[in-house]
Amino acid sequence: MHHSKSPLYIIVLLAALLPSLTACHEQEEFSNDAMGNFDALWTAIDEHYTFFKYKNIDWDSVGNAYRARIAPGITSTELFDLCGDMLKELRDGHTNLISGSDVSRYWIWEQYPVNYDRRVIDENYLNFDYRNVSGIKYQILSNNFGYMYYGSFENGIGEGNLDNIFNYLASSDGLVIDVRSNGGGYLTNVETLVKRFITQKTKVGSLSHKTGPGHDDFSKPYDYYFTPDPKRIHYSKPVVVLCNRGSFSATNNFVSIMKHLPGVTIVGDTTGGGCGLPFTSELPNGWSVRFSAAVISDVDGQLTEFGVAPDVEVNITPDDKAHGRDTLLERAFQILASQRGGM
Amino acid sequence: MLLCCAATAGLAVPASAQSDTAAQVLRPVLHMFTLDVGHASLLDSYLTPIAYHGQNFRLGYEHFQATGFNPERFTRQLEVDVDYDHTHNPAGNHTMHSLMAEARWSMMHRWRDVALSGTQLMVGPMTQFRGGVIYNSNNSNNVVSAKIHWAVGVNAMAVWNTTLWGRQLSLRYEGSLPVAGAFFSPDYDEAYYEIYVGNHHGLAHFGWWGNRFDLTSYLTADFRLGGTTLRLGYRGRIETSWINHINTHIFTHALVIGIGGEFLSLSHGKKLKPAHRIISPQY
């Protein structure tokens, strides 16, 4: 039976070695009380937030200042407000604290002119007569310029639908793409739409992400490209993109890409920014926290966290507003008209 | 008893590739279908730093047979599982789901009567593939954590065949321990969108006990009731990894119930003869 002891010995030896060789890493835990939840929030941001250096934020000082305001007996609502105020120090529209009763936010665009009135467009330019598919409202106006309004990049765009849209718009002399007050959505929809305005593989930006909990732990930027599908219908005439401060996140990304394409003019106000890719974490009490964890730079390597400046800055004038005119759209028509001769 | 049981179960099966008439050896196959119900604990810091707890369910199939060569000394085993974990955070307001599939193949050397009569010890190499997703519906760009893992390692089994109330009882412990392999992981805060647009750098990792540990312990009692085997048991899994500062713990403890039996495949018209030797993988 000597041969039978050998495998038994090996098994016992392996079992003895296991505890010292495991990849079991201790996860830091926080208590489910005011201080524990505060520290969990502060730590999640400290280890994952991506713009500390870009925004020159001393997160340790911020944490110390707000931690000192946690008084014994602080209520859940008070703690939420305090934590929400701390997150506003990040000046980031992608950063929210989410409880069962409220969402903290830094929506600075709410304080800027809206520069968009849907009713004015529908009534005075579209005459309530427009096509609508994949969340895109479109029509050829009486001046033979095409108009399409895309209100949310959360609305999936079907390639077949886009073929129908651009087939219809093919006879127009130019196109206005209106993404005002479009708060963003899926970047894959940005790609789907942008690819209709390029004719070859095009660099559209670069991506970088945190590689560890340190504030300087970033990956090397990765350039990424969009490649058009030659079998799909493309639009090659002059294009004006209308944007406002409510053009945020994926819409900000769309505008930053379109701005660098030939034949495209950006008109309106600076976009709302938001070039971070938000991740989500949570606190012991179940509150969620969303924050920017990765960044998208534009094709020039610039961050657009605070927005994309338009080529032509235009705000709706009080006079136009009083007379039901959209100053941005009128300016877009002028730009397209000036380019019509060059077609 | 073994002959009777195996033959009774196998006569209904018409195929014939598994008998070795030259050596007069027949190798029945243990087919076992199992259902696990138990507790799951999930932590994946790519999704959340909070551990979730809930239920574990698993459907499994085991195919176990003595090998065609040297069947007295070697066995081979294929185990295929699909497991689902339905878990909640301690606050009870978020849900995390895990859906994984696993296939494990091993070939083991067998020693009989190692410590006392009726015991067997089997040890041998195994290869394992495991893949699936953990999904946290609460999240944004980190809504899913994909898990893909391939490894080679050790499979070991200790069996004690005895009787209880006149019925054949087989008590078995099986341990599966991947040693080295390869596995997938995104970087610390790398969104799947970045992978989607083409950045595949650093996604595959060499796995060893320093960054990934995975142990399955499987303790079962097989009761033979005629040609049918009923299985009761416990399965525990420990899976941990630490890569790119992403911490993963998946712990499950489950009660196992199963039904199966040993089956022989015989050609039409062929009958069991006294000259045939039946070599079971487990008995």
The structure tokens listed for B62 are 């085991």
pLDDT on residue A11: 61
**Given an 8 Å threshold on Cβ–Cβ distance, is B189 in contact with A50?**
yes
At which residue do the structure tokens 């609305």 appear? A155
Q: Among partner residues B138, B196, B242, which is closest to A288 by beta-carbon distance?
A: B138
Q: Which residues of A touch B89 (CB under 8 A)?
A: 282, 286
The pTM score is: 0.89
pLDDT of amino acid A109? 77
The DSSP-derived string for B25-83 is EE--EEEEEEEEEEEEEEEETTTEEEEEEEEEEEEEEEEEEE-SSSTTTEEEEEEEEEE
Kindly state whether A195 is in contact with chain B, defined as any CB-CB distance less than 8 angstroms: no
Residues in chain B: 283
Distances (CA, A) of A57 to A95, A302, B114: 15, 19, 67
Give every CB contact of residue A167 below 8 A, 6+ residues apart in sequence: A233
**pLDDT for residue B10:** 36
Structure tokens, A252: 């900000």
Residues from chain B contacting residue A213 (CB–CB below 8 Å): 188, 245
Distance to chain A for B72, nearest Cα, Å: 15
pLDDT in tens, B130-170: 999 999 999 999 999 999 999 999 999 999 999 998 899 99
Output the average pLDDT for chain A: 93
Q: SS3 sequence, A43-63?
A: HHHHHHCCCCCCCCCCHHHHH
Cβ neighbours of residue B275 closer than 8 Å, sequence gap 6 or more: B24
pLDDT tens, per residue, chain A with 343 residues: 444 455 566 666 666 666 555 577 888 999 999 999 999 999 999 999 999 999 999 999 999 999 999 999 999 999 999 999 999 999 999 999 999 999 999 988 788 999 999 999 999 999 999 999 999 999 999 999 999 999 999 999 999 999 999 999 999 999 999 999 999 999 999 999 999 999 999 999 999 999 999 999 999 999 999 999 999 999 999 999 999 999 999 999 999 999 999 999 999 999 999 999 999 999 999 999 999 999 999 999 999 999 999 999 999 999 999 999 999 999 999 999 999 865 4
Question: Looking at chain A, which runs of residues are DSSP E strands?
Answer: 96-98, 131-133, 136-140, 146-150, 175-178, 202-209, 222-226, 239-243, 264-268, 276-282, 288-297, 312-313
Closest alpha carbon to A110 in A245, A213, A3: A245
Q: Which of A18, A187, A280 sits opposite B142 (nearest CB)?
A: A280
Rounded to whole angstroms, the Cα distance separating B130 from B75 reads 22
The count of other CB atoms within 10 Å of the CB of residue B270 is 13
User: CA B267 to CA B26: how far, in whole Å?
Assistant: 12
**A228, A204 Cβ separation under 8 angstroms:** no
The domain limits of chain B are 2-278
Q: Would you state the pLDDT for residue B52?
A: 98
Q: Each residue of A248-285: b (16+ CB within 10 Å) or e?
A: bbbbbbbbbbbbeeeebbbbbbbbbbbbbbbbbbbbbb
On whether the CB atoms of residues A316 and A113 are closer than 8 A, the answer is yes
Which pLDDT value is given to residue B5?
A: 43
Partner-chain contact B209 A100, CB within 8 Å: no
Distance CA(A164)–CA(A249), nearest Å, equals 27
pLDDT at residue A19, as a whole number: 53
Q: Under a CB-based contact definition with an 8 Å cutoff, are residues A53 and A17 in contact?
A: no
pLDDT digits (tens, 9 = 90+) for A135-181: 999 999 999 999 999 999 999 999 999 999 999 999 999 999 999 99
* Residue-range domains of chain A with CATH: 34-109 (3.30.750.44), 110-277+293-340 (3.90.226.10)
Name the residue type at position B11: L
Q: Structure tokens of B164?
A: 């209880």
CB A153 within 8 A of CB A190: yes
Consecutive sets of 10 residues in chain B, 283 residues long: mean pLDDT of each? 38 39 78 98 97 98 96 96 98 97 98 88 97 96 96 97 92 97 97 96 95 96 93 97 96 98 79 80 89
Three-state DSSP class for residue B102:
strand
B83 strand-pairing partners:
B58, B100
The predicted pLDDT at position A3 comes to: 46
Distances (CA, A) of A265 to A206, A252, A313, A315, B210: 22, 15, 11, 16, 54
**Please, are residues B90 and A32 in contact by the beta-carbon 8 Å criterion?**
yes
User: Average pLDDT, whole number, for chain B?
Assistant: 90
CA distance A152 to chain B (A): 16
Which A residues in the span 246-285 are in contact with B, Cβ-Cβ below 8 Å? 277-282, 284-285
* Residue in B49, B114, B140 closest to A44 by CB: B49
CB contact under 8 A, A4 and B244: no
The token pair at B253 is: 């403890």
Sort out which chain B residues have CB atoms less than 8 A from A288's CB and list them: 94, 138
- Which class in CATH covers the domain with range B2-278? mainly beta
